[in-house]
Amino acid sequence: MSPSRRVIILGGLALALGWGALVVYGPSCPLCVTKVPVVGSAEPPADVSAPNPLPLSSTLELEKMTWMELRDRVKGGFTRVIVPTGGIEQNGPFVALNKHDLIAKAVSVRVAELVGNTIVAPVVSFVPEGGFNPRTGHMRYPGTISLSSDTFQKLLQDIVTSLSLSGFQEIVVVGDSRDSQDDIVRAVSQRTPQNSQNARVRYLTEFYNYEGVRAWLRERGLNETPENFHEELAFSLQLMAIDPSAVRYDPRLAVGAKSLGGVSLEDRERMTALGREIIEWRAKLIADAIRAK
């Protein structure tokens, strides 16, 4: 056999083996000459330092920013981020399932405005709300979405890690739902320190200070008596200021549900104004706590 013919045969055999390996092994084929690029390289992308072609927006909500806007905000001194946690849970016949989400976001944004140099992360909607089997707590009602304590803490851990990698130096984790407070404390104290790029991670008890809100209401002559369903004046007044549809304001009055806990809701203007005052009172309390610690 001539040398030239031998080269042709060997070349064809190698090509056949390569294609066969590709069929067997797929893109990770160890015998294929062409290497498939690795996705998720640790190298920063080429455009990560590219200039932003647009002026910065005025929003303080992370999810409403472009990545360039966030990058430039952080570089410009916005090195604190608030991570609000809410909850998707049953709240009686008149209140939307996302009650805590709406309130947590509204209060957090107002806090960010007051303290300055602060961004608000998306609300963490999913928190522990009860057990699955047997069903306990709010999980006994349709629509509630619950996490186990371990899953919730791991979720917060990964959120904190992600935000610290974006350059935030102070990460404040807060919650508007009573049942999630202990898990937030555990996540902040036990799970996040080794994953936060030396960012300061904090939990504020002042965010969930509804005893203070109830006292504030009593000082204004609003003496509430408990209802036999899961709704409370301290929350619903805030919702009236944020989104009256979340408390089904017009429909509930139309069916005769004109009071809550013995307090009349019929003076819509006054109730809405009280809701705004509660949000402002809470935000100032939390802002003072952020500045003080």
Instruction: Give pLDDT tens digits for 244-292.
Output: 999 999 999 999 999 999 999 999 999 999 999 999 999 999 999 999 9
144 belongs to a structural domain: yes
24 belongs to a structural domain: no
Contact yes or no for 209/157 (Cβ under 8 A) = no
Which of 89, 79, 64 shows the shortest CA–CA distance to 175?
89
Which residue type is seen at 142? Answer: P
Contact yes or no for 239/247 (Cβ under 8 A) = yes
pLDDT, position 6: 52
Pairing of strands 259-260, 263-264: antiparallel
**How many other β-carbons are positioned within 10 Å of the β-carbon of residue 193?**
14
Express each pLDDT in 76-131 by its tens digit: 999 999 999 999 999 999 999 999 999 999 999 999 999 999 999 999 999 999 99
Burial 36-66 (b: 16+ CB within 10 A, else e): eeeeeeeeeeeeeeeeeeeeeeeebbbeebe
Mean pLDDT score of the chain: 88
Q: What is the DSSP secondary structure assignment for residue 193, as one 8-state letter?
A: G
Domain range for 236 is 62-292
Instruction: Give the separation between CA 282 and CA 176, rounded to whole angstroms.
Output: 11
Q: How many domains does the chain have?
A: 1
7 belongs to a structural domain: no
76 belongs to a structural domain: yes
CATH at residue 286: 3.40.50.10310
200 belongs to a structural domain: yes
pLDDT, position 182: 95
Q: Answer positive or negative: Cα dihedral of 151, 155, 157, 158.
A: positive
193 pLDDT band, cuts 50/70/90, is low
71 belongs to a structural domain: yes
The pTM (predicted TM-score) of the whole model is 0.84
2 belongs to a structural domain: no
Express each pLDDT in 35-72 by its tens digit: 444 445 578 898 999 999 999 999 999 999 999 999 99
pLDDT, position 5: 55
39 belongs to a structural domain: no
What does the pLDDT average to over 177-203?
A: 87
pLDDT, position 23: 41
Length of the chain: 293
